[in-house]
Chains A and B, each alone.
Chain A
Amino acid sequence: MEFLNRLLENSTMPWLSAMVLGLMTAISPCPLATNITAVGYISKDIENRDRVFINGLLYTFGRAVTYTAIALVIYLGVDQFKFSGFFQRYGEKILGPLLIIIGLFMLDIIKVKFPGMSGLTSKMQKKTRWGYLDVILLGLVFALAFCPYSGVLYFGMLVPMTVASASGLYLPIVFAIATGIPVVIFAWILAYAVSGIGTVYNRVKVFERWFRRIIAVLFIAVGIYYVFRVYL
């Protein structure tokens, strides 16, 4: 962290500053709970390491979309202070209940049948396009959950750099990649380690089913943590 601070102070290149800010966001204790949840979700297709890697990239892409969209809206003239205040006020408040709901869906405790659609879980477990879309959505939503520290790094430091000129609009993408890197690396290491063990015992499928249940419980636990933190 000390090193990153120094790098940020001395950086004259905007892309490097954006990258350092992203890394500082990723490794700060503040968004750690969402990062752990993200690692779990990205690794849900644990039998397939390539797939885990693609999931990680798509999760990062989702984050990039959110960060760029927010910067763009501010660039187009929305009041930066009101806008950032909204996210700082509601980001964490929405996140807790949302994580719990997603966890309950994953465990099949909540079952909603939409016309023309079969159960959510079976959709998610099938290797359809849905499987990719949900990871992107997760990136989109998790990027919206600004905790106080990451809120200052993004709105206080990255956004002013970004909106200073139209040529700065690539910076949120660099920032998003940096926030996603540690998550992707951990997910991939996890998948590599687990699938290695699984192959030895030829039980990867069974393990994956249980792994998904563990992730669902993780979502609920992290959701409860946020609810306690914010509301109680």
Chain B
Amino acid sequence: MRTFQMMLALVVFMPVMACSAQTEKKDAKTGSSNKIEAYYFHFTARCMTCKTVEAQAKQNIETLYPELMKQGNISFQSVNLDEDAGKAVGDRLHVYGQTLLAVKGDTKINITNEGFMYAVREPEKFKAIMKEKIDALL
């Protein structure tokens, strides 16, 4: 039980030590560009809902903006935060956990909650929300 307690103490306090004070959360400089980049950030271990959110988001962008896709003005990228390359992208955009994000220049729109609420059971609603949010970036 002592071991259990020590482990618990480690688990509880490590993040407190690891996390520094508040840093800027949003609107970080991401480079000024007219291109819209959609990202789905995840870790290696993934759940069914998570995979569905990614698949739906990708499909929605492809079907909603086929012309922009062809022109290269909108893109979708799946990023694994457990890989060094993915972590670098996450650090640049200040993303450290599972997130669905649309980025244009300095503007970032987080669509994670809507994805997890609707992608599985109401994909059409999720599509409409994505359209509304991304249209605002155009």
Contacts and interface: CB of A to CB of B under 8 A. Distances in A.
Contacts of B118: 5
Task: Among B4, B5, B48, find the residue whose CB has the most chain A CB atoms closer than 10 A.
Answer: B4
A149 B116 contact: yes
A157 interface: yes
Interface stretch (A48-56, A73-81, A201-209): A73-81
B49 interface: yes
Given A82-B19, A148-B47, A149-B116, A5 B98 contact: no
B19 to A, nearest CB: 5
Contacts of A230: 44-45
Given A89-B43, A89-B97, A148-B50, A78 B19 contact: yes
Given A82-B96, A140-B8, A147-B47, A2 B121 contact: yes
Interface residues of B, number: 43
Contacts of A2: 121
Contacts, number: 118
Given A5-B117, A84-B96, A144-B11, A114 B2 contact: yes
Interface in B19-42: 19-23, 25, 42
B121 A81 contact: no
Interface in A110-124: 112, 114, 117, 120, 123-124
Contacts of A155: 97
Given A30-B47, A117-B2, A134-B4, A84 B97 contact: yes
A88 B23 contact: no
A172 to B, nearest CB: 15
A25 B100 CA distance: 20
Nearest to A155: B97
Interface string B83-98: 0000000100011111
Contacts of B102: none
B138 interface: no
A186 B14 CA distance: 33
B22 A89 contact: no
Contacts of A36: none
Chain A interface mostly: helix
Task: Among A69, A78, A102, A133, find the residue whose CB has the most chain B CB atoms closer than 10 A.
Answer: A78
A84 B50 CA distance: 16
B46 interface: yes
Contact of B98 (A88, A157, A229): A88
A84 B95 CA distance: 10
Contact of A87 (B4, B15, B45, B116): B15
A124 B47 contact: no
Contacts of A92: 45
B103 to A, nearest CB: 15
B48 A29 contact: yes
Interface of A: 1-2, 5, 8-9, 28-30, 69, 73, 77-89, 92, 94, 98, 101-102, 105, 112, 114, 117, 120, 123-124, 130, 133-134, 137, 140-141, 144, 147-149, 151-153, 155-157, 229-230
Given A5-B117, A84-B97, A140-B8, 16 more contacts: A78-B19, A79-B21, A79-B25, A81-B94, A86-B14, A88-B96, A94-B11, A98-B7, A140-B12, A144-B12, A148-B42, A148-B49, A148-B98, A149-B47, A156-B113, A156-B116
| A-B pairs with lowest CB-CB distance, top 9 | A85-B96, A85-B97, A88-B97, A86-B15, A230-B45, A152-B116, A148-B50, A77-B22, A156-B113
